Amino acid sequence: MSTLSDARLVRRPPGDGSGPEEAHGGHGPRGAHGSLKGYMTGFVLSAILTLIPFWLVMGDVLGDTFRTGIVVMAFAAVQIVVHMVYFLHMNTRSEGGWTFIALVFTLTLVVVTLVGSIWVMYHLDQNMMPMSPHEALQKP
């Protein structure tokens, strides 16, 4: 038998770093995926973080549209973090910290996009030529 065929016949214990599950950073059957308790915690937190803003908006609890919008966006940001921690299993230790660096880069892009969009829409609103209702009806 050749050396190559002998190497295939050797049985290695699972978790010795040579199997297919270790080829992708150790996320095989024994990887650091979540437990039922972790998934249930994430689900309950996600449900609560969805129901509270729904209640705030539908009940007009805060009475101010701007304040309600800010609070709803804050709950959305917390819910994003809950999803990343409990469902995507992102932390500073996984994959040598690269997932955390990718997260920071993604959040930076999202913030720049949102702030830029709001800035453009605000300035368009402020700088558009005002029209009377009669003029608006006459425009094609």
pLDDT at residue number 53: 95
How confident is the model at residue 85, as a pLDDT? Answer: 86
Mean pLDDT of the chain: 79
User: How many other β-carbons are positioned within 10 Å of the β-carbon of residue 86?
Assistant: 19
Cα–Cα distance, 100 to 109 (Å, whole number): 14
DSSP code at position 119: H
What's this model's pTM, rounded to 2 decimal places? 0.56
20 alpha carbon, distance to own chain's centre: 28
Tell me the pLDDT band of 21, cut-offs 50, 70 and 90: very low
